[in-house]
Chain A
Amino acid sequence: MKIREVTLSATPTAEAIADLRLGDIVYLDGLIYTAREGVYMRALEDKANIPMELPSQSAANFHCSPAAVIREDGSFDLGAVTATASFRFAKWLPEWMAKTGARLIIGKGGMSSKDYKEYFVPNGAVYLSTVGYGTGALLGRGVETVEAVHWHEELGIAQAMWVIRARRMGPFIVASNMAGECLFERENAKIVQNLDRVYEGTKPAVLKRYGETDDRSDEVIG
């Protein structure tokens, strides 16, 4: 299969989103903000005012904290950027999407097709996965400027809301689509067919773990 490459705006049109296919490689232009548990809790649970105009400024939420430092003069030194695993944020994402109109959720590992169908598709959003994982230097090259860092005093550098101007930032992989399908689940379904053969001859442990399952189509997330 030939891999297709797409350039996408961080405030994408509904048509551009609908056109994305699982496994497409995406490069992003425009403003992207980082938000993870710290930002979600502050905005949704503590009801703090989100310091950006969303989604008009950006519809791209990156689950990330960069390897970066705020210099004494207030400027930024941002080196590498990579995603953190997104499944931990499922608790906040429906409300966050409804509130901010985020249409691109960028992270690591994706969510489940259940998440995609329940609140990604209704909000016109798709999931973009980073590649590797760990193309931090390549993604760092895609950062034109750091426009702002919000809430770093309250949340620390790692949890702060970094606002990044991206220029052909990537690569990312399209991991969900407007049908609510999940790239990772598609791949898992192919791999699981081979597992009985690989496991052949091995023995289950004599001492079981409480709640243990031998269903190999299971996942540790979701």
Chain B
Amino acid sequence: MISIDLIQTTAETLMDKAAIEIPQDYLDGLRAAAKTEDGDLSSFVLQAMLENYEAAKEDRRAMCGDTGVPRWFVKMGNDARIEGGPIALEAALRRATANATTGVPLRPNRVHPLWRTDHNNNVGIGAPEIEYGFEPEGEWIDLITVHKGGLFGTDYRMLFPSDGIQGIKRFYLDSLVAFGKRGLACQPAIIGIGLGGSKDTCMVLGKRASVLRTVGSRNSDPRIAEMEDEFKELGNSIGMGAMGFVGKNMVIDCNIEVGYCHTGGMQMSVHAFCLSSRRAVARVFPDGRVEHRTDPDWFTDYQRRETIDWDPVREAAE
């Protein structure tokens, strides 16, 4: 049985880490980008961002004033048991979100869409989102928090098989240029692309591709992995850098996730995880151990399975 108190205190620590500490993979990616950048203004911006991450860690203050909208991805091993069950778990995550909002502090971003009611704690109807995943083995629970910021840099389009790769490229470029101008997407970003599913699942795939995969990770399908490399390069050849200034770094990495879709369609979504790519992860065990990391490791072979039953041996052979 995993202690509910431990879940809540761990969740509070994760909220703090996500808001303050830029994940190492993104930091390495941005440092590499800063080395290649030769646009004078965009270089200045990247250097300022690198200083900003240091200042945030030194002062233990949020890296960006827009601290995003906190959300949770929860993954459980098949044998995980939580004290108080899923209702207690959700209450603990909502409490941790509210406590961290005043504790860090975070900006209380969450308001009612019509009445603009603000509880000043980032909790409300459907907020924070809590999404679930499962793995075949283990007694642990993974708590993943993502505080994605920004209202821009995201788009969806129903494409069709006849649009092909060239149509996918076109929509990708359209999205990057549209929201890259004036730096609305807060690039350079981790670009996530969702392909397939339905309209809603396509958005989920793209969002998860941007926020739940790390810089440098590649899709397990080698042909999709090739596309990821190609799309990263394509995005960086636009000639646009940070803040929409002339430059060569728009995309720190491009991650693509797919889902089976209607035979007539080819849904596509594009997401940008910004200069403040806030994510933090911890695995909590029944014996009280807590292991912190920054890689959500969400897209396992199990998550991308194609078969009816889960047969790890056969999947490995394929």
Which residues of A does B touch, CB under 8 Å? 1, 3, 23, 25, 64-69, 77-85, 108-110, 129, 131-141, 156-159, 171, 173, 184, 187-188, 190-191, 194-195, 198-199, 201-207, 209, 216, 219-221
B109 close to A158 (CB less than 8 A): yes
B-side interface size class:
35 or more
Docked-complex contact B102 and A69, CB < 8 angstroms: yes
Interface residues of B (CB under 8 A from A): 19, 40-41, 44-45, 48-49, 51-53, 55-56, 59, 61-67, 101-102, 104-109, 111, 116, 118, 120, 149, 151-152, 157-160, 162-164, 166-167, 169-171, 173, 177-179, 181-184, 186, 234, 237-240, 242-246, 274-276
Across the two chains, which residue of chain B brings its CB closest to A81? B65
Contact A220 to B52, CB < 8 A, known contacts A137-B59, A187-B246: no
Q: Is the CB of A157 within 8 A of B186?
A: no
Chain A residues near B61 (CB-CB < 8 A) = 67, 79-80, 136-137, 140
Bound together, the chains give a CA A69 to CA B109 distance in angstroms of 12
Q: Are B107 and A219 in contact (CB under 8 A)?
A: no
**A3-B41, A66-B65, A132-B48 known; A77+B105 contact, CB < 8 A:** yes
* Contact indicator B238/A198 (Cβ below 8 Å): yes
Q: How far is the CB of A82 from chain B (nearest CB, A)?
A: 3
Cα–Cα distance between A203 and B104 once the two chains are bound (Å): 47
Residues of A contacting B242 in the complex (Cβ-Cβ under 8 angstroms): 132
- Chain A residue at smallest Cβ distance from B45: A131
Measured between beta carbons, the chain B residues less than 8 angstroms from A137 are 52-53, 55-56, 59, 61-64
Residues of A contacting B48 with CB < 8 Å?
A: 131-132, 135, 138, 171
- Report the Cα distance A136→B246, complex, angstroms: 23
Given contacts A78-B105, A136-B52, A191-B239, 10 further A-B contacts (CB under 8 A): A3-B41, A67-B65, A109-B183, A131-B243, A132-B183, A132-B275, A134-B276, A140-B61, A191-B240, A216-B177
Quick one: which of A67, A157, A203 contacts B62, CB cutoff 8 A? A67
The answer to whether B275 touches A134 (Cβ under 8 A) is yes
Which of A141, A203, A204 is most buried by chain B, counting CB atoms within 10 A of its CB?
Answer: A203
Quick check: A132 and B62 within 8 Å, CB to CB?
no
A201 to B164, CA, bound (A): 12
Least Cβ distance of B54 to chain A in Å?
8
From known contacts A85-B151, A136-B52, infer whether A190 and B65 are also in contact, taking CB-CB under 8 Å: no
Docked pose: A171 CA to B49 CA in angstroms? 11
Q: Could you tell me if B238 and A191 are in contact, using CB atoms closer than 8 angstroms?
A: yes
Shortest Cβ distance from A208 into chain B, in angstroms?
11
A205-B149 Cα distance, complex, nearest whole Å = 29
**Selected A-B contacts with CB under 8 Å, 23 pairs:** A3-B44, A66-B107, A80-B61, A80-B63, A81-B65, A108-B184, A131-B49, A135-B48, A135-B49, A136-B52, A137-B53, A137-B55, A137-B62, A140-B55, A140-B65, A141-B55, A188-B181, A190-B239, A199-B170, A203-B164, A206-B159, A220-B179, A221-B182
Query: A163 CA to B170 CA in the complex, in Å?
Result: 45
CA distance A64 to B234 in the complex (A): 33
Cβ contact within 8 Å between B181 and A136: no
CA of A201 to CA of B173 in the docked complex: distance in angstroms?
A: 12
Are the CB atoms of B111 and A156 closer together than 8 Å? yes
Task: Report the minimal beta-carbon distance from B243 to chain A, rounded to whole angstroms.
Answer: 7
Contacts of A173 in B (CB 8 A): 41, 243
- Which chain B residues lie closer than 8 Å to A190 at the CB level? 239, 246
Whether B52 and A135, one on each chain, are in contact in the complex, defined by CB atoms closer than 8 angstroms, is yes
Which residue of chain A lies nearest to B180 when distances are taken between CB atoms in the complex?
A191
Q: Which residues of B contact A191 (CB under 8 A)?
A: 181, 238-240, 244, 246
